[in-house]
Chains A and B, each alone.
Chain A
Amino acid sequence: MSRYFLRRAGESLIALWLATIVVFIGVRSLPGDPAIAMSGEGREPAANALIRQRYGLDEPLPIQYLRWISITITGDLGTSIRTGQPVTAEILSRIPTTLELAGLAGLFAICFGLPLGIAAAVRRGTRLDYLAGSVGLIGLSIPTFWLGIVLILIFAVWLEVLPASGYVPFLEDPIQNLERMILPVIVLGSALGAVLLRQVRSGMIGSLGSDYVRTARAKGLTERQVVVGHALRNSLITVVTILGLELGALISGSVVTESIFLIPGFGRLIIEAVSRRDYPVIQGVALFSAVAYIAINFGVDLLYSYLNPKVRMGSTAQ
């Protein structure tokens, strides 16, 4: 296990270093000069030149990369060109909001996708199965932006039962916080829920028809014990893998959701930074996302090896 852990950790570090290069080159490849993008209508050549000089934007790219990477190693992601605030502080102030949104969206997806997927598999070919299939298809097909606006119109404008937008920190007012999270969570979680539904359904159908389930039934176990204790347990590997991969997608999906519902999270920080070409913030956010993505995958791999020891054994045997 420890060798497996060390190998995966080493691979993760290499992936992270490659990510810094990709992030840096990707950001510098964006057309548009931060100083000009930042100036809006107030174009003042001398002020723009000062911004370039202050942030080292007029230096050769390798020098800029080395300077960035040398301070990044110390945990300092630089200073935002737009606001003058430390990038680390900006990210850390936004992360709890996005994690709350992504976490609740993930929970919503599990609560909606898992039981529906199981029910559709167990009642395969019935109306419930067709209904679940339709729900899954709709969840996957509806564009986030459209769904957000429609939900605002229905629940905030017509029915007036939920607020249209905004964010209140949980510790400040838990009720308001959750009220304002309902619509964004549905918007962000519906696609993931649909994916889970479809995957769980197909995984469960496969498991329910397998020999070990037939054996379990032959041993006289109840249908509930067979479904939950045997078929579902095996299908959970798929669920964990999808959740791990989709958590990154949830964070990137929060870009649109946070913009519609005016939630001051990570997603809106990305939008603002990209639109103003705020290089230090874009790089910081991208690197932070890469770290999170790699860490989640690392965690998923470990969990996977726990759930299915063959994975671990297979890798050490190589």
Chain B
Amino acid sequence: MIRSRFLTAGLTVALIAAAAAAPITAQEPSPQRGGEVNLSQFEDADTLDPTFAGTAGARVVFINMCEKLYDLDADGALVPQLATALPTVSEDGLTVTIPVREGVTFNDGTPFDAAAVVKSLERHRTAEGSRRTSELSSITASAAPDATTVVLTLARPDAALTASLSDRAGMIMSPTQLDLLGADFGNAPVCVGPFKFVDRVVGDHTTLERSEDYYDAEHVYLDKVIYRPIADETVRTANLRAGDLQLVDRVATTDVAALKDDPEFVVVERTSNAYTAMTVNIANANGIAGEPGVVDDPLANDQLRKAFDLAIDRDQINQLVYSGLQVAGCGPISPANPYHDGVACPARDLEGAKALVTASGVATPIRVELQVASSPVNVRLGELLQSQVAEAGFELAVLPLDNATAFQNQNDGAFDIMLTPWSGRVDPDANIYRFHYSTGTDNFPKAVDPELDALLDEARSVNDVEARKALYAQIVERVKERRSVIYLQHQVLYSAHTSALQGFELFVDGMPRLKSVSLSQS
């Protein structure tokens, strides 16, 4: 017994001495396995089939369930995920070779290989009703010469392809489940991912659980992830405070300060590629599918559009609408994106705006209508814009609408100005081409500029980063000058979680990655 006491005392002294000798650092507790996380989804998913999904709500679920050929790192750089390296592109830009992982299985035990990649890519590309068709439009054929190599044949060089493969177009689905369920794959999706699908009640919850088949399963800590779609920001925050949620994917800027002050919660932020902008109807007289025509919108006039833009005080908008927590912006590329030109937005020029209005000869007040998707923050933004442009001679009416009506009006050209937020993509092509190319799917202003089209075509076909940057600098300049879309803010995304949640990081795409997240047991 005495010997045992001496031994214990000796060990204690040795441990204290060792602890004293060790450098004093604030160490993160090592992650522990177990626990479930309830997190909010700012919108519910449409379908959980990567080929047919169109909503951001579906992307929020996919990020933890369906890995892609490529992913982003925290800063937005493309990194291999199910691929093992960035693609090799042939000299003519028409053949892309992608090496893929071996020794990986889908969450139903089906082996992952290049043939499975080809099957998914072909489905994304050619399935009737696929929402990935545009993203993969450059591909004419895909092949798997061996189990770890995928070769894509392109109709034209496509510099944005790797970025497309870092989103839903690059998600690889279990061939077994595809054969089994076909078009109903979204009811029980199976991919490669840290978590696997358990169940979904539309509008209520989607449950995922840790996958033991996952190739990096030892670094996945949570047992279960439960998504709960909650559209209202106030309700999301109230549920976090009440302990019913452990993570809120989007926190309103009005709630950020209070949550930051509360030691029970951690607020995480990241400047994203998302933006808030206004689309101006320049020539959408016959709908998005029709030919451009003359519209009854005062801002179809280039000089009045410029005057309207000059009258906007973006910094004031940021302060009064977003509590100073966003980044004032005037172009489509975020300062967080490597393609950002570094050019600061010009300050408000009210005198310049007034001069342009006077020079136009149009009688004031010039009546214009701004349509916004109905939400308190959008209405607040509309009302502030109303007061700002009034000083230049515009009488801005703000019309809140539900999303479906707003989308329809956009399509039909039944608007003067429409508030159009965009969730942002990592490659500038995906943030500009569809909105500004003359025949772009989202060119709702129906603005036509063959020179801009040529630049956009060239930028998506050049693989050299510096050459692309130079092209995008020109493109952004033309876009800013044309003002068919008037940009207002680059979105800084805020998520909040309980202090018990560890290892959560927000990436530029705003998708809540939970692979390495754990819950402390205390």
Distance to closest chain B CB from A198 (angstroms): 31
Q: State whether A164 and B46 are in contact (beta carbons under 8 Å apart), knowing that A41-B55, A85-B202, A262-B228 are contacts in the complex.
A: no
- Kindly state whether residue A220 has any CB partner on chain B within 8 Å: no
A32, A54, A85: the one within 8 Å of B407 (CB) = A32
- Kindly state whether residue A295 has any CB partner on chain B within 8 Å: no
Per-residue contact bits, chain A 25-50, to B (CB 8 Å; 1 contact, 0 not): 00000111100111111111111001
Distance to closest chain A CB from B58 (angstroms): 8
How far is it, in angstroms, between the C-alpha of A41 and the C-alpha of B442 when the chains are bound? 10
Structural contact, A31 and B405, CB atoms closer than 8 A:
yes
Q: Which of the candidate stretches B18-26, B235-243, B480-488 sits at the interface with the other chain?
A: B235-243
Q: Which of the candidate stretches B67-75, B124-132, B153-161 sits at the interface with the other chain?
A: B124-132
- Kindly state whether residue B56 has any CB partner on chain A within 8 Å: yes
How far is it, in angstroms, between the C-alpha of A50 and the C-alpha of B54 when the chains are bound? 14
Structural contact, A47 and B235, CB atoms closer than 8 A:
no
- Kindly state whether residue B411 has any CB partner on chain A within 8 Å: yes
Q: State whether A47 and B129 are in contact (beta carbons under 8 Å apart), knowing that A36-B411, A84-B184 are contacts in the complex.
A: yes
- Kindly state whether residue B165 has any CB partner on chain A within 8 Å: no
List, in ascending order, chain A residues with CB within 8 A of B44's CB: 272
Structural contact, A262 and B235, CB atoms closer than 8 A:
yes
Give the residue name and chain of the B residue nearest to A37 (CB).
B404
List, in ascending order, chain B residues with CB within 8 A of A277's CB: 404
Structural contact, B242 and A164, CB atoms closer than 8 A:
yes
Give the residue name and chain of the A residue nearest to B235 (CB).
A260
Structural contact, B404 and A276, CB atoms closer than 8 A:
yes
B129, B231, B235: the one within 8 Å of A50 (CB) = B129
- Kindly state whether residue A259 has any CB partner on chain B within 8 Å: yes
How far is it, in angstroms, between the C-alpha of A47 and the C-alpha of B441 when the chains are bound? 12
A33, A42, A268: the one within 8 Å of B131 (CB) = A42
- Kindly state whether residue B449 has any CB partner on chain A within 8 Å: no
List, in ascending order, chain B residues with CB within 8 A of A90's CB: 202
- Kindly state whether residue B408 has any CB partner on chain A within 8 Å: yes
Structural contact, B56 and A82, CB atoms closer than 8 A:
no
List, in ascending order, chain B residues with CB within 8 A of A275's CB: 402-404
- Kindly state whether residue B203 has any CB partner on chain A within 8 Å: yes
How far is it, in angstroms, between the C-alpha of A42 and the C-alpha of B45 when the chains are bound? 12
Q: Please provide the chain B residues from 225 to 249 with a CB less than 8 Å away from any CB of chain A in the complex.
A: 228, 230-232, 234-235, 238-239, 241-244
Q: Please provide the chain B residues from 159 to 217 with a CB less than 8 Å away from any CB of chain A in the complex.
A: 183-184, 186-187, 201-205
- Kindly state whether residue A51 has any CB partner on chain B within 8 Å: yes
Q: Please provide the chain B residues from 123 to 152 with a CB less than 8 Å away from any CB of chain A in the complex.
A: 128-131, 133-134
Structural contact, B408 and A32, CB atoms closer than 8 A:
yes
Q: Which of the candidate stretches A13-21, A148-156, A204-212, A239-247 sits at the interface with the other chain?
A: A148-156
Per-residue contact bits, chain B 495-516, to A (CB 8 Å; 1 contact, 0 not): 0000000000000000000000
List, in ascending order, chain B residues with CB within 8 A of A260's CB: 232, 235
Distance to closest chain A CB from B117 (angstroms): 22
List, in ascending order, chain B residues with CB within 8 A of A45's CB: 289, 441
How far is it, in angstroms, between the C-alpha of A39 and the C-alpha of B129 when the chains are bound? 11
Per-residue contact bits, chain A 258-273, to B (CB 8 Å; 1 contact, 0 not): 0110101000110110
Structural contact, B204 and A156, CB atoms closer than 8 A:
no
Structural contact, A264 and B204, CB atoms closer than 8 A:
yes
List, in ascending order, chain A residues with CB within 8 A of B409's CB: 31
List, in ascending order, chain A residues with CB within 8 A of B407's CB: 32-33, 36-37
Structural contact, B404 and A36, CB atoms closer than 8 A:
yes
Q: State whether A47 and B289 are in contact (beta carbons under 8 Å apart), knowing that A31-B404, A41-B423 are contacts in the complex.
A: no
- Kindly state whether residue B84 has any CB partner on chain A within 8 Å: no
- Kindly state whether residue B52 has any CB partner on chain A within 8 Å: yes
Structural contact, A83 and B202, CB atoms closer than 8 A:
yes
Give the residue name and chain of the B residue nearest to A46 (CB).
B133
Structural contact, A39 and B54, CB atoms closer than 8 A:
yes
Distance to closest chain B CB from A172 (angstroms): 13
B46, B184, B402: the one within 8 Å of A82 (CB) = B46
How far is it, in angstroms, between the C-alpha of A67 and the C-alpha of B241 when the chains are bound? 49
Distance to closest chain A CB from B189 (angstroms): 13
List, in ascending order, chain A residues with CB within 8 A of B104's CB: none
Structural contact, A167 and B202, CB atoms closer than 8 A:
no
List, in ascending order, chain A residues with CB within 8 A of B241's CB: 156-157, 164
Structural contact, B242 and A32, CB atoms closer than 8 A:
no
Distance to closest chain B CB from A183 (angstroms): 11
Structural contact, A43 and B441, CB atoms closer than 8 A:
yes
- Kindly state whether residue A305 has any CB partner on chain B within 8 Å: no
Q: State whether A41 and B441 are in contact (beta carbons under 8 Å apart), knowing that A47-B133, A164-B238, A167-B204 are contacts in the complex.
A: no
Q: State whether A149 and B53 are in contact (beta carbons under 8 Å apart), knowing that A41-B423, A275-B404 are contacts in the complex.
A: no
Structural contact, B54 and A163, CB atoms closer than 8 A:
no
Structural contact, A44 and B55, CB atoms closer than 8 A:
no
Structural contact, B441 and A44, CB atoms closer than 8 A:
yes
Q: State whether A153 and B238 are in contact (beta carbons under 8 Å apart), knowing that A33-B411, A41-B422, A82-B46 are contacts in the complex.
A: yes
List, in ascending order, chain B residues with CB within 8 A of A166's CB: 228, 244
Structural contact, B131 and A39, CB atoms closer than 8 A:
yes
- Kindly state whether residue B47 has any CB partner on chain A within 8 Å: yes
Q: State whether A163 and B441 are in contact (beta carbons under 8 Å apart), knowing that A44-B134, A85-B202, A268-B204 are contacts in the complex.
A: no
Query: 24 A-B contacts, Cβ less than 8 Å apart?
Result: A32-B402, A33-B408, A36-B404, A37-B407, A40-B43, A40-B57, A43-B54, A44-B130, A45-B441, A47-B52, A47-B131, A83-B202, A84-B47, A84-B186, A84-B187, A152-B239, A164-B241, A164-B244, A165-B239, A259-B231, A262-B230, A264-B205, A272-B203, A276-B46
Q: A40-B56, A42-B53 are in contact. List 6 more A-B contacts (CB 8 A).
A: A41-B55, A41-B56, A42-B54, A44-B131, A156-B241, A272-B203
Closest 4 CB pairs of A and B: A42-B54, A32-B404, A264-B204, A164-B242
